[in-house]
Amino acid sequence: MPKRTLRSLVLERRAALDAECHARRSRAVQQRLLATRHFARAGCVGLYRPIRNEVATDLLCRQAWADGKRVVYPRVRGERLEFLAVGPDTGWIEGTFGVREPAGDERVELVAVDLLVVPGVVFDRDGHRLGYGRGYYDRALAGHGCRPLRVGLAFDLQVVDHVPREEHDVRLHVLVTETGVKEFAGFDL
Ligand SMILES: Nc1nc2c(c(=O)[nH]1)N(C=O)[C@@H](CNc1ccc(C(=O)N[C@@H](CCC(=O)O)C(=O)O)cc1)CN2
Ligand SMILES: Nc1ncnc2c1ncn2[C@@H]1O[C@H](COP(=O)(O)OP(=O)(O)OP(=O)(O)O)[C@@H](O)[C@H]1O
């Protein structure tokens, strides 16, 4: 199935989740990640501010702060993503594509991030993902090797057998859904 068809099909499925179901499943996904050694070990965690029924990240953010971890969120700058440190008092402004972005100005280089939660629309069983088709995360992560650890968050309804792949696609190390944590082969975690 072409990327665009797959993307709109899954977006439609995800949009159909009602608020209660979305909240319950988001909690389950986040609790699974919170229970991993990956989260426990990370001193700096990158999150995203959800749009369009993406898995919520609020519990991850609160737990990270409670643990004294550093938390960063992305901001779109032209074709690039920047990551900014965020605390409980950070303000948010409406950025590109309707995503809220930190108002602060404390930039953190991606090499200083231990675990990056990567948003996406469709995910497959080998760690490939499809975003909204602008390539921001693929560009940001190109050439970064194993740091940061790339973790996808998804509802099971977003996972398919095979996502069409291209040369520039950056594979995830770990995918977390409400039913499990999958660590992909080929990485030494
Ligand atoms: N929550 C979240 N934050 C994120 C991303 C993301 O996927 N999710 N990004 C991941 O890159 C970056 C922002 N990039 C984005 C790119 C496109 C769209 C999007 O909804 N595109 C619409 C068209 C919107 C328009 O052109 O006005 C679409 O594809 O239909 C959203 C975010 C950084 N922050
Ligand atoms: N490493 C890269 N260098 C230059 N351009 C890139 C790179 N990675 C992706 N792109 C550009 O981004 C475009 C969109 O890529 P793709 O369809 O894989 O995005 P996506 O994974 O759905 O989106 P996103 O990463 O934003 O969530 C590609 O057509 C390509 O031109």
Alpha-carbon span 130 to 4, nearest angstrom: 10
For 189, residues 6+ apart whose C-beta sits below 8 A from its C-beta are: 38, 149, 173, 174, 183
User: Which amino acid does the sequence have at 94?
Assistant: E
- CB neighbourhood size of 93 (10 A): 9
pLDDT at 187 (0 to 100): 75
Question: CATH second-level architecture of 3-183?
Answer: 3-Layer(aba) Sandwich (3.40)
Q: Give me the residue spans of the domains in the chain.
A: 3-183
Q: How many helices (H) and strands (E) does the chain have?
A: 5, 12
pLDDT at 150 (0 to 100): 97
pLDDT at 145 (0 to 100): 84
Q: How far is the CA of 97 from the centre of ligand 1 (A)?
A: 5
Alpha-carbon span 14 to 118, nearest angstrom: 17
Q: How far is the CA of 118 from the centre of ligand 1 (A)?
A: 12
Q: The pTM is what?
A: 0.95
Q: Which ligand is nearest to the CA of 6?
A: 2
Alpha-carbon span 158 to 145, nearest angstrom: 26
Q: Which positions make up the binding site?
A: 3-7, 54, 129-137
pLDDT at 189 (0 to 100): 67
pLDDT at 144 (0 to 100): 87
Ligand 1 test: best mutation among 54, 58, 80, 97, most atoms within 8 Å of CB?
A: 97
pLDDT string in tens for the chain (189-residue length): 899 999 999 999 999 999 999 999 999 999 999 999 999 999 999 999 999 999 999 999 999 999 999 999 999 999 999 999 999 999 999 998 999 999 988 999 999 999 999 999 999 999 999 999 999 999 999 988 889 999 999 999 999 999 999 899 999 999 999 999 999 977 766
Distance between start and end Cα atoms, the chain: 32
Q: Report whether 145 contacts 168 (CB < 8 A).
A: no
Q: Which positions make up the binding site for substrate?
A: 54
User: Across the chain, which distance is largest between two alpha carbons, in Å?
Assistant: 44
Alpha-carbon span 126 to 134, nearest angstrom: 21
Q: Is 95 in the pocket of ligand 2 (CB under 6 A)?
A: no
Q: In what order do the strands lie in the sheet with 122-124?
A: 129-130, 122-124, 159-160
